Chain A
Amino acid sequence: MSNVALELTNVRKKIKNKEIIKDVNLAIRQGEVYGFIGPNGAGKTTTIRMIVGLMDLSDGEIKILGKSIEKDYKAAARNLGAIVENPEMYPFMTGRQNLRHFARMYDDVPKGRTEEVIGLVGLEKAIDEKVSKYSLGMRQRLGIAQAILHKPAVLILDEPTNGLDPAGIREIRDYIRRLAVEDNVAVMISSHLLSEIELMCDRIGIIKHGELITEQSVKEDSEEADQSEIKVVLDVKETEEAIKVLASLELKAEKEGSQLVSLMTRETIPQVVYKLVEAGLTVYGVTGVKQSLEDQFLELTGGNIIE
């Protein structure tokens, strides 16, 4: 297992006695792409602002490659690249002038790196135009370019797919995957739309009302999936007796019309079927209902409502 690149421990943020971030813990490994999902106003941007040092923490600690963003700011910030909210640049300067401006803020970014980055994000044609003439997609690319100039170990991208067309999203997705795989960068991507970033993430954390309510791996058919409980619908003629059989297996079941609904792991399903048949019950069907991440997300967050 690779090293932890970004670590949040018991992070809290209070603004005017209102707790906006409540005890968030998370860790992102090198080479991992982490999706940070939540409805608007859930605390995504506040968390990101704390990670990049734009906001103070009320409590807890944030470490980048083991360096605290509060106690050892310079060392931590050296390994951090970010877009916070919209990728805003100096509108009266060209793309190249903007990149040079930010490159000069590091001691160790060689001149050739600017050109290299321009090529990486595919902005060669527009780089000498003023940013005020850029489209949102071009600005996103320039935003990513300034974030990776200094080859950071941790890359934070706040809503990087905002305002991009599907082709643009695919391009960014490919590019982020490449950064993670080839350069071992830990990437944290925030979004309020799960569907847009699901495909580029290894793992997803869902935040709501300032709490990280769930974290899960995106990869299906993993061992993890076998261990997690799924919803199973049982179509049995003798419902009352079936409930008793399930109770003997320490499973709870609820009646939904003429069917039974129960939560169990994938591994226990064959056992349940065997027991039901053994008890002489008429089983018409057993269906495992696989929830998509999208369903779970909507269920957990209650849709995309600004609170």
Chain B
Amino acid sequence: MSNFFSLLYNELFKIYIRKSTWVMYIILGLIAVGGAIIISAFDDVQPTEYTDNWKEELQEENEALHKDNEEFGYSFNDDRIMKNEYLLENDIRPLNYGAWQYTLENVGLVAIVSLLTIIIGSSIISNEYKWGTIKLLLIRPISRNVILLSKFIAIFVFGLFTMIYLFLVSMLGGAIFFGFEGFNPSTVIMTANGIEYVPIVGEVMSEYGYRIVNLIMMTTLAFMISTIFKNSSVAIGVGIFLLMGGNIITGIFSQYEWSKYLLFANLDLKMYETGNILIDGMTLGFSITMLIVYFVVFVALAWLFFNKRDIVNQ
């Protein structure tokens, strides 16, 4: 194993030397900063700047929100009203909008990080077949297991780097356009137990963290498919379809008891924190067990096919 890090370095080198990877990073960066540009460019979506008169400002805001609700006949502002009331009751000055809150709102972009990681995961093996270099890779005094492992880990190192990149770009974009709230600001959020006043840093960590589960599972699935079929397009297609459509699939089958065994029903671990549990009887332990089972099956299939196959031409 002494040269395992050399193998990992090789794999990452092959990912980051290619222009297509940098194009992906530029696009992700533009999207991550783009939101901030749009918000700051249009007046009516600009977040409120609270002054020393914040109590009056909050009350005014709530009145306006109530009015909106009545106008539209739908209470879509309730969360915000409750948060404002909580602030007033507990005498907490609201936090002005800034980099941390912008980063928290950008958590949806983790889906793009997942997408990029799926693309890398789907092509890391099949590209070697496409380039013909698989032959040069598998005649070295290194077992196929170790080569496969180095590639598998390289995918997630890429995912981690990309995640950190998304976080940094979001923070930077947020700080430039809205300012920086400080190193450890707190804010009010909705939880299963009602409204709570918590540090944003922890909130950012947990929001991003929960979505890593989905990233890992979908990437492992795509990696398995591409290892079996030696074809990245099938794997990318299936991976993206399931990444986007997983919730719909769960929705269709959620009336049946067995649907809790579906991979997609167990991807969102946040439901145990918020209390919106998909199917009665599911627990955190159950979901984690299911995820581990799926993960092991995916990895075992990939390993089996990669190890047993004769390497011939496409």
The interface of chain A, by Cβ under 8 A from chain B, is 15, 49, 52-56, 73-75, 77-78, 80, 82, 84-86, 88-93, 97, 101-102, 104-107, 146
- For B7, what are the chain A residues with a Cβ–Cβ distance below 8 Å? 104-105
- For B133, what are the chain A residues with a Cβ–Cβ distance below 8 Å? 88-90
Q: Which residue of chain A has the shortest Cβ distance to B3 in the bound complex?
A: A107
Contact B136–A89 (Cβ < 8 Å): yes
Known: A49-B312, A56-B310, A74-B142. A88 touches B17 (CB 8 A): no
Q: Which residue of chain B has the shortest Cβ distance to A82 in the bound complex?
A: B139
Known: A101-B13, A105-B3. A88 touches B131 (CB 8 A): yes
Contact of A53 among B2, B6, B138 (CB under 8 A): B138
Contact A85–B132 (Cβ < 8 Å): yes
- For A92, what are the chain B residues with a Cβ–Cβ distance below 8 Å? 17-19
Known: A55-B310, A88-B131. A77 touches B6 (CB 8 A): no
- For A78, what are the chain B residues with a Cβ–Cβ distance below 8 Å? 141
Contact of A55 among B6, B19, B311 (CB under 8 A): B311
Question: Do most interface residues of chain B lie in helix, strand or loop, or is the interface mixed?
Answer: loop
Known: A54-B135, A86-B132, A88-B131. A74 touches B141 (CB 8 A): yes
- For A52, what are the chain B residues with a Cβ–Cβ distance below 8 Å? 135, 139
Q: How far is the CA of A39 from the CA of B76 in the complex (A)?
A: 77
Residue of A49, A54, A55 with most partner-chain B CB within 10 A = A54
- For B131, what are the chain A residues with a Cβ–Cβ distance below 8 Å? 88-91
- Chain B 113-136 per-residue mask, 1 if CB under 8 angstroms from chain A, else 0: 000000000000000000111011
Q: How far is the CA of A75 from the CA of B141 in the complex (A)?
A: 7
Is B241's CB within 8 Å of the partner chain A?
no
Q: How far is the CA of A145 from the CA of B185 in the complex (A)?
A: 58
Is B67's CB within 8 Å of the partner chain A?
no
- Tell me the total A-B contact number using a CB cutoff of 8 A: 80
Q: How far is the CA of A105 from the CA of B132 in the complex (A)?
A: 17
A43 to chain B, nearest CB (A): 13
Contact B135–A105 (Cβ < 8 Å): no
Question: Do most interface residues of chain A lie in helix, strand or loop, or is the interface mixed?
Answer: loop
Q: How far is the CA of A14 from the CA of B264 in the complex (A)?
A: 42
B230 to chain A, nearest CB (A): 14
Q: How far is the CA of A154 from the CA of B277 in the complex (A)?
A: 62
- For B17, what are the chain A residues with a Cβ–Cβ distance below 8 Å? 92-93, 97
- For A89, what are the chain B residues with a Cβ–Cβ distance below 8 Å? 131, 133, 136
- For B312, what are the chain A residues with a Cβ–Cβ distance below 8 Å? 49, 55
A-B contact pairs, 28 of them (CB 8 A): A54-B135, A54-B139, A73-B143, A77-B140, A77-B141, A84-B136, A84-B139, A86-B132, A88-B132, A88-B133, A88-B135, A89-B133, A89-B136, A92-B19, A102-B136, A104-B3, A104-B6, A104-B7, A104-B9, A104-B10, A105-B7, A105-B10, A105-B137, A105-B142, A106-B3, A106-B140, A106-B141, A146-B136
Known: A88-B132, A97-B17. A49 touches B310 (CB 8 A): yes
Contact B140–A105 (Cβ < 8 Å): yes
Q: Which residue of chain B has the shortest Cβ distance to A93 in the bound complex?
A: B17
Q: How far is the CA of A55 from the CA of B6 in the complex (A)?
A: 26
Q: How far is the CA of A100 from the CA of B287 in the complex (A)?
A: 44
For window 135-193 of B, CB contacts with A under 8 Å fall at: 135-143
For window 1-54 of B, CB contacts with A under 8 Å fall at: 2-3, 6-7, 9-10, 13-14, 17-19
Q: How far is the CA of A82 from the CA of B137 in the complex (A)?
A: 11
Q: How far is the CA of A82 from the CA of B136 in the complex (A)?
A: 8
Q: How far is the CA of A93 from the CA of B311 in the complex (A)?
A: 23
Q: Which residue of chain A has the shortest Cβ distance to B19 in the bound complex?
A: A92
- Would you list the 7 A-B pairs with minimal beta carbon distance, nearest first? A88-B132, A54-B311, A104-B6, A77-B141, A55-B310, A78-B141, A105-B140
